[in-house]
Amino acid sequence: MTRVRVEYSTAAGPQTCWALMADFANIDFFNPHLSESYLVDGSPACGLGTERQCDFKGGKGYIREKVIDWQEGRSYTVDIYDGTLPVDRTVTTLGLLPQSGGGTRLFMETTYRPRYGFVGVVADHLIIRRMFRNMLLKVIEGLAEKALAKEKAPMLAA
């Protein structure tokens, strides 16, 4: 199994970051890789067991994921059980850590097993890990950007 973890600090508060994260169906709001995201029919809105589909931009595939751990106000973990990624058995966590001086430390971590045997292992070392690292970092950067914008919006209206 390969593990990739990225972290990113933002001045936005943890409550604002969590509000965006907990709007589970709408991760496309801050994930720049997605054209849309939505709950799978019959799924609860958030929490353990929630399922969503995420469609990648440009018709480049999709993933379906199910929440397997939900830590209110802190993190959630999803099992990506279907999709077009070049890996198997993918589990991803999106979380936050409040910072003592203010702001939030965001993190995203994924573990997966490359497909295609030895060829997949080589591809993982050459391409896939870097691809995942870049993808995950863009997601939490997008989250940080939207959270900051959300906090600044009331100030602009005043």
Could you report the per-residue pLDDT of 137-152, keeping only the tens digit for each?
999 999 999 999 999 8
Over 57-119, what HEC string results?
Answer: HHHCCEEEEEEEEEECCCEEEEEEEEECCCEEEEEEEEEEEECCCCCEEEEEEEEEEECCHHH
3: enclosing H helix or E strand: strand 2-10
* CA dihedral angle for residue 67, residue 68, residue 69, residue 72, rounded to 10 degrees: 30
How much is the pLDDT for 141? 98
All domains in the chain, ordered by first residue: 2-151 (3.30.530.20)
pLDDT tens sequence across 30-56: 999 999 999 999 999 999 999 999 999
DSSP state of 55: E
pLDDT tens sequence across 5-14: 999 999 999 9
Which of 78, 28, 22, 21 has the alpha carbon at shortest distance from 49?
Answer: 78
Beta partners for residue 121, in sequence order: none
Is the pLDDT at 111 greater than 90? The verdict is yes
Beta partners for residue 83, in sequence order: 63
